[in-house]
Every structure is written in structure tokens, then in C-alpha cells.
Amino acid sequence: MENTLPIQRLDKAVEELHRLPGIGRKTALRLALFLLTQKEEMVENFGNTLIDFRKNIHYCRCCHNLSDTEICPICASPRRDHSQICVVSDIRDVMAIENTGIFQGLYHVLGGLINPMSGIGPSQLTIAHLTERVRNTPPQEIIMALPATPEGDTTAFYIAKQLKPTGIKLTTIAKGIAIGDDLEYTDEITLGRSLSNRTEFSI
């Protein structure tokens, strides 16, 4: 069912909600009408929270994880093992690994994977900053926790090539995770085990 009524404010609201991924026009209309059933303050809070989120969220200066502060709590914590850096594609991968409770080191969030088909090259990721970070304060080990996909493999290979000259131990999580799977959807036991069973990265 299309909205053929000339109600500009409704149209605009539906248009905005329809921008969200996975939200079709019909769902957007349902969401817009839901917002009308809510208190004015609730909708104000809803909108302003999202605006504030986009405006004031930080990417950690050290690991590029999302953070309320310039340096994220993980990088700032003296209780974390600063001799290990776990390289991941996405903040959701940080969450997935944190949920296993197995890893106590630091992270480095690439912000994606090398994917020539989508026009994403190494320069759009935080790889150069990883190299710099590692040269400035060398860790004992760098663990690649990237998806077992062609893009993940390519990215791991590229990073390994960049970091080889530093002589730092490079490992990759065990391919206990099924080929083609994303980290985000792996169950915690499998993901935890593949972190424990990580193997030397060979190029």
C-alpha cells in the first residue's frame, strides 16, 4: 500500500525511516505511525539521541574502536595485555571477541576489508596507522582475527606483508570458524577456541 495522501510531514518521516537499511516503505510507514502513538518527549529523545550519537561518538585514536572518549576504555586500561594486538575488521567483531571472555589484549579496528570489487583499497582502512602504531610501541604479538573469506584472507596477507619487516610475531585465529562465515555470527565457544588455537601466520 502506497501513501497517496498529500501529507508532507508524514511523507518526509517515511522517507527518512526508509533510508535505514532493511526498512521498506511499508515498514517505514508503520514506524512513523508508531512514533505518533508515543509521547512527544520520547520522540524528541529518540531523535536527539541519534543526532548526539552521530555527532559526538569518538573513534579511539589508538585502535579506532568506537568510544565515548578520545581513547577507548580497552586501550586506556592497565589491566589489559598491551603486548597483544588483535586486528579485526569491524567494531562488531570486537564485541564478538569480548563476549568470549578469552582475549585480554588490545584491538585494532580496520574499518572494513580490502575489497577491489567494491573499490575498497588498503588506504581506506586503518592499516597505515596500524603499521605506525606497531613501530612506535611494538607489541609481542599481532593476532589477525579476520573473516575466513577471500576479502579477509587478502587483507590478512596484505597486513602481514606490511608488518613482516618489524619481526613481530604474527598469528591468525585458527580456521575453526567455518569457511565463508563472518565472525559476528560465530558462536562464542567456537570463536574462543579459534582464538586459543591461533597459529603462526605464514607468507
Choices 24-32, 118-126, 159-167, 173-181; region in contact with a second copy by CB under 8 A? 24-32
Is residue 27 within the footprint of a second copy (CB under 8 A)?
Answer: yes
Nearer to a second copy, 72 or 163 (CB): 72
- Per-residue CA distances from 93 to 97, 138, 154, 159, 168 (Å): 6, 23, 18, 18, 23
Is residue 57 within the footprint of a second copy (CB under 8 A)?
Answer: yes
Cα atoms in the 13 Å half-sphere on the side-chain side of 52? 7
Sign of the CA dihedral with 91 first, then 94, 95, and 96 last: positive
Q: Output the smallest distance, CB 143 to a second copy, in A.
A: 18
Is residue 87 within the footprint of a second copy (CB under 8 A)?
Answer: no
Choices 86-94, 130-138, 148-156, 168-176; region in contact with a second copy by CB under 8 A? 86-94
Choices 31-39, 130-138, 171-179, 194-202; region in contact with a second copy by CB under 8 A? 31-39
Choices 11-19, 79-87, 136-144, 166-174; region in contact with a second copy by CB under 8 A? 11-19
Nearer to a second copy, 23 or 160 (CB): 23
Residue 87: CB atoms within 10 A of its CB come to 25
The residues facing 106 across adjacent strands are 85
DSSP-derived pairing of the beta strands 169-172 and 141-144: parallel
Q: Output the smallest distance, CB 129 to a second copy, in A.
A: 18
Q: Strand, helix or coil at 59?
A: strand
Q: Output the smallest distance, CB 24 to a second copy, in A.
A: 12
Question: Which residues make Cβ contacts (< 8 Å) with residue 110, sequence separation at least 6?
Answer: 64, 87, 88, 89, 90, 125, 126, 127, 130, 155
Q: Which of 9, 180, 202, 203 touches a second copy (CB under 8 A)?
A: 9
Is residue 21 within the footprint of a second copy (CB under 8 A)?
Answer: yes
Three cell numbers written together for 60: 579511539
